[in-house]
Structure 1
Amino acid sequence: MTLKYRPILVAPLLLALAGCISLGGEPPESLLTLSPETRAPAGPGVSGADRPVIAVLGIDTPAKLDVLRVPVAVSDTELAYLQEAFWVEKPARLFRRLVGETIRARGAAMVVDGDDAATLATVSLRGTLIDLGYDAQASAAVVRFDAVRIDREGAVTTRRFEARETGVPAEARAVGAALNAASNQVAAEVADWVAGG
């Protein structure tokens, strides 16, 4: 007899449990990404022994950027995340692809992506994306990247790149556009630096 009542008792328990478990909130209306201002044209790529082969390797980030949210520096010691602002994927991957495409579009070097392709490279680029977020006190979108260039002989050169877009309201669409512009500025400076040696 207890077998007959067991399904009846389990159903209310499952209904009560469903109210406690969230399988995800409302999906965002849109997702942010980084888009290159210039792209390499379709067709044959760059070739020639006189041009460097650059491997754009993995980019590190602090924990605040290892998420799909846009960090907001509220003060020197406080951090929040911008409401309704979500990246389509983690910022390090977006920025890595942006830098690779920017170098490729300039046509001065061959670009190979992925850690496995590093053995083909004459120059490797890696680094740490320190900031890709919003400064609430300055109403600014900030991108800061510590780049590391390693040549074939193993010589290491480092440089910090930074770009700011000011006068940006704390709204997802405006901050996303400003971060894209600042990221493209940094990517262009990195491309000139890493390919120029």
Structure 2
Amino acid sequence: MLRSLRLPVLAALATATLSACVSFGAKPPPFLLTLSPDVSPSAGEARTANEAQALTILIPTAPQKLRTQRIPVQQDDASIAYVKDAQWVEAPQRLFQRLLSETVAARSNRVVLDEGQYLTAPGEQLAGQLMEFGVDEATNEAVVVYQAMLVNSGGKSVTQRRFEAREPVGGKIEPKRVGEALSAAANRVAGEVAGWLAG
């Protein structure tokens, strides 16, 4: 009888010990952040373009500190932390590419594609690097730096230009304030890129 009771008790103790040691995933943040464009193309508007007039906007490359859904805080030249409980809904490079596409399409008459949409010829291609997309702790500002590279439709010429925008966080570094400041800075950069492309 004693032996038959011992097995269930040992099994229960083992289960309790295991549940105290094993985590089934990190605690999710209270909400996810995204970027909202200040302008968008009009619904129902049809556009037609030949190969030279189309523009394909590629997802930018990014340094390792941005290859995460967390938001980096540059503390000094050698130290980076991340905003507590702040997380993008998807990779910031993809969010920025989508914001850029919406803004350029709204502020120009061009047919704007992304790399998953063109079928044969991508036309001109806008590539680049998202160099900064986080917070500068020293100035308490959200910082967006985008190095754009425009390749013509024949691939025979390349034009580069760097864009930068800073927006004050406006208080303690916390998810909502940082998300709003980064969205404002990203929209400013996207607007300047659209103006440059309109030339």
Q: Tell whether the structures are fold-level matches, with TM greater than 0.5.
A: yes
CA distance in 1, matches of 2:8, 2:46: 65
Residue 186 of structure 1 aligns with which residue? Answer: 189
Residue 32 of structure 1 aligns with which residue? Answer: 33
Structure with more of its chain in strand, by fraction: 1
Residue 92 of structure 1 aligns with which residue? Answer: 93
Shift of 1:11: 4.1
Aligned partners of 1:112 and 1:118 also within 8 Å? no
The verdict on how the C-alpha distance between 1:69 and 1:167 changes in structure 2, with shifts beyond 3 A counting, is: closer
Residue 156 of structure 1 aligns with which residue? Answer: 158
CA distance in 2, matches of 1:51, 1:125: 13
Percent of matched pairs sharing the same residue: 41
Misfit runs of 4+, over 6 Å = 2-7
Task: Name the SS of the counterpart of 1:107 in structure 2.
Answer: coil
CA distance in 2, matches of 1:187, 1:6: 66
Residue 173 of structure 1 aligns with which residue? Answer: 176
Letter of the 1:180 partner, please give it. Answer: S
Task: Name the SS of the counterpart of 1:79 in structure 2.
Answer: strand
CA distance in 1, matches of 2:73, 2:194: 27
| 1:62 correspondence with 2:66 | no
Give the TM-score normalised by the residue count of structure 1: 0.89
The verdict on how the C-alpha distance between 1:36 and 1:126 changes in structure 2, with shifts beyond 3 A counting, is: same
Aligned partners of 1:118 and 1:124 also within 8 Å? no
Aligned partners of 1:109 and 1:195 also within 8 Å? no
Residue 18 of structure 1 aligns with which residue? Answer: 19
Shift of 1:181: 0.4
Letter of the 1:110 partner, please give it. Answer: V
The verdict on how the C-alpha distance between 1:101 and 1:13 changes in structure 2, with shifts beyond 3 A counting, is: same
Task: Name the SS of the counterpart of 1:102 in structure 2.
Answer: helix
Gaps of 5+ in 1: none
Aligned partners of 1:55 and 1:121 also within 8 Å? yes
Is 152-161 or 49-58 further displaced after alignment?
Answer: 49-58
Gaps of 5+ in 2: none
Give the TM-score normalised by the residue count of structure 2: 0.88
